[in-house]
Amino acid sequence: MSTQDKIEDHGLLRFLTCGSVDDGKSTLIGRLLFDTKTILADTLSAITRTSEKRGMGAVDLSLLTDGLQAEREQGITIDVAYRYFSTGTRKYIIADAPGHEQYTRNMITAASTANLAIILIDARKGVLTQTRRHSKLASLVGIPHLIVAINKMDLVDYSQETYEKIKADYLEFAAKVGIEDIRFIPLSALNGDMIVDRGDALNWYDGPTLLDMLEVAPAAHTEHDEPFRFPVQYVCRPQDSANPELHDYRGFMGRIESGSIKVGDAVTVLPSGRESTVKSVQLGGVDIGAAFTEQSITLLLADEIDTSRGDMIVKTAEAPAAVKEIRATVCWLAETPLDRARTYLIRHTTRDSKAKLTGIDHRLDVNTLENLPADKLAMNDIAEVSFKLAQPLFVDPYLENRGTGAFIIIDESSNNTVGAGMIL
């Protein structure tokens, strides 16, 4: 019997932690890793040594998340780091992004793959500008679930009144921004209260611990019906003359961005618009009959249709819009500001198109959350803009479909990724 038959598998959850060092974000992550027994003895002894070297009494769990040499020297986090832990029933990927204003782009990056965000609040300080900024960014990037973690409860005598006041303040703000699924939890990352263990200082709180919330949070793509979207990544034509069965093999390889597919379904290939039916659904050359979101598969069609990378296979009844102009929320990521005169490359699913900016509607001030007029975009700016495209793209609004609503902007001269876009 395999060890995998013994335990249930609740899949994988990717989440993001938002907050600054001052909120105890690194300590929270350290605590999650430590209390789920992810931290092994040698790592622990290394951070114990460092804690002593820096003159600290207790072991500083935040040291677990210090990554690069430069960060260790400066004692800050400068880039997104990924951490892993598992509870036996579920695997977790934490995207750890620095919280400071100038790191908006890092937070957007970390949020792009997350399905849940933990917003940290220092119980002594309550809802701050940065709390609002993080929440707004999380909602902009379409993270469906938020946990507002009111940390450092030990420093406010574990006061329920303080907790309730912060919760009410936050709910008032959230109603304005339109964030829906929010849960609240009081904690002390330092002492480990309500993270994995309940502790005995917060007995007035009868909700689940942080880990219990994570264990039952829905994984991506499991919450509503989605249309079938299959961008073609690669075409397999073995043309093996020794094997007549493979002579006419033409497999369209890709990952299902959303929806499901099975043998016999009627499909349309975009942009040609040619229709066919699914003859076979395969993984590694083996028939699997049907497949669903996030599976990487190979599709064989009943008819010979000329199809290549960049095309999209969809169910005939639910085709997306083919557009040559897009309106989108864009976050500018590069140090060089957007140049209105230049042509950029937009990469959307597996398809590229040249693109030119046609207008900036407004810019979002991430601190006041006001829309301001703007005529340029610099690093960390977020704005609603319009592009015209050289090639049609097959798109869905981002908030309905992250896979077919997202794009990146590439500077063709440096090849750098300079912007991230979410189609409106």
Partner 1 sequence: MTQRNTLTHLDWLEAEAIHIMREVAGQCSNPVLLFSGGKDSICMLRIAEKAFRPGKFPFPLMHIDTGHNYKEVVAFRDKRAAELGERLIVRSVEDSMQRGTVVLKHEGESRNKHQSVTLLEAIEEFGFDACIGGARRDEEKARAKERIFSFRDEFGQWDPKNQRPELWSLYNARSHKGENIRAFPISNWTEMDVWQYIEREGLELPSIYFAHTRPVVIRQGSIVPVNVPLMNGELTNLPKAGEEIVDLQVRFRTVGDISCTAPVESDADNVEKIVLETATTTITERGATRLDDQTSEASMEQRKKEGYF
If the CB atoms of residues 192 and 254 are measured against partner 1, the closer one turns out to be 254
**In angstroms, what is the minimal distance from the CB of 303 to partner 1?**
20
Of the pair 106, 276, the CB lying nearest partner 1 is at 106
Nearer to partner 1, 150 or 420 (CB): 420
Q: How far is the CB of 398 from partner 1 (least distance, A)?
A: 10
Residue 6 has, within 13 A of its CA and on its CB side, a CA count of: 4
Q: Under rule CB under 8 A, which residues in 296-335 are in contact with partner 1?
A: 296, 309, 333
Neighbour order of strands in the sheet with 145-151: 81-86, 91-96, 12-18, 116-122, 145-151, 181-186
Q: Say how far residue 349 (Cα) sits from the centre of its chain.
A: 15
Question: Whose Cβ is closer to partner 1: residue 9's or residue 181's?
Answer: 9
Q: Which residues contact 64 (CB under 8 A, 6 or more apart)?
A: 26, 29, 30, 33, 34, 39, 43, 47
Angle of the 160-177 helix axis to the 129-140 helix axis, nearest 10: 50
C-beta of 374 vs 379, nearer to partner 1: 379
Among the listed residues 96, 15, 128, 204, the one whose alpha carbon sits nearest the alpha carbon of residue 185: 204
Residue 303 to residues 41, 251, 286, 299, 374: CA-CA distances in angstroms?
59, 12, 20, 12, 50
Minimum separation from the CB atom of position 199 to partner 1 (A): 25
Q: Is 416 in the site for partner 1 (CB under 8 A)?
A: yes
Q: Which stretch binds partner 1 (CB under 8 A): 116-124, 132-140, 231-239, 271-279?
A: 231-239
Site string for partner 1, 88-117 (x = CB under 8 A): --xx-x-----------x--xx--xx----
Between 185 and 355, whose beta carbon lies closer to partner 1? 355
Residues 357-396 touching partner 1, rule: CB under 8 A, are none
# chain residues binding partner 1, by CB under 8 A: 75
Nearer to partner 1, 12 or 302 (CB): 12
| Interactions with partner 1, residue window 8-37 (CB under 8 A) | 9-12
Enumerate residues 233-292 that contact partner 1 by CB under 8 A.
Answer: 233-234, 236-238, 240, 246, 249, 251, 253-255, 260, 283-285, 292
Query: Which window, 5-13, 127-135, 264-272, 387-395, contacts partner 1 (CB under 8 A)?
Result: 5-13
**Nearest distance in Å: CB 169, partner 1:** 31
Amino acid of residue 372: L
Q: How far apart are CA 82 and CA 389, in angstroms?
A: 34
Output the smallest distance, CB 245 to partner 1, in A: 9
Q: Give the separation between CA 158 and CA 193, rounded to whole angstroms.
A: 10
The closest of 119, 140, 141 to 130, measured between CA atoms, is 119
Q: Amino acid letter at 40?
A: L
Q: Which residues pair with 326 in a beta bridge?
A: 387
- Binding residue for partner 1, selected from 3, 102, 200, 242, defined by CB under 8 A: 3
In the list 29, 32, 61, 80, the residue contacting partner 1 (rule: CB under 8 A) is 80
CA distance 64 to 67: 8
State phi, psi for 394 to the nearest 5 degrees: -105, 105
Residue 57 burial (CB count, 10 A): 7
Strands 296-301 and 274-283 come out as: antiparallel
Least distance in Å: CB of 404 to partner 1?
11
Nearer to partner 1 (CB atom), residue 107 or residue 166: 107
CA–CA separation, 154 and 22 (whole Å): 15
What is the Cα–Cα distance from 168 to 177, expressed in whole angstroms? 15
Minimum CB distance to partner 1 smaller for 117 or for 148: 117
| Residue placing its CB nearer to partner 1 in the complex, 194 or 300 | 300
Residues contacting residue 221 through CB under 8 Å, at least 6 positions apart: 258, 293, 294
116-155: which residues touch partner 1 (CB under 8 A)?
Answer: none
Least CB distance from residue 69 to partner 1, whole Å?
4
What number of H helices and E strands is found in the chain?
A: 9, 23
Of 71-79, 145-153, 161-169, 355-363, which part binds partner 1 (CB under 8 A)?
Answer: 71-79
- The least distance separating partner 1 from the CB of residue 347, rounded to whole angstroms, comes to 6
Interaction residues for partner 1, span 163-222 (CB under 8 A): 219, 222
How far is CA 91 from its chain centroid? 16
Instruction: Give the residue, chosen from 191, 280, 295, 391, that forms a contact with partner 1 under the rule CB under 8 A.
Output: 295
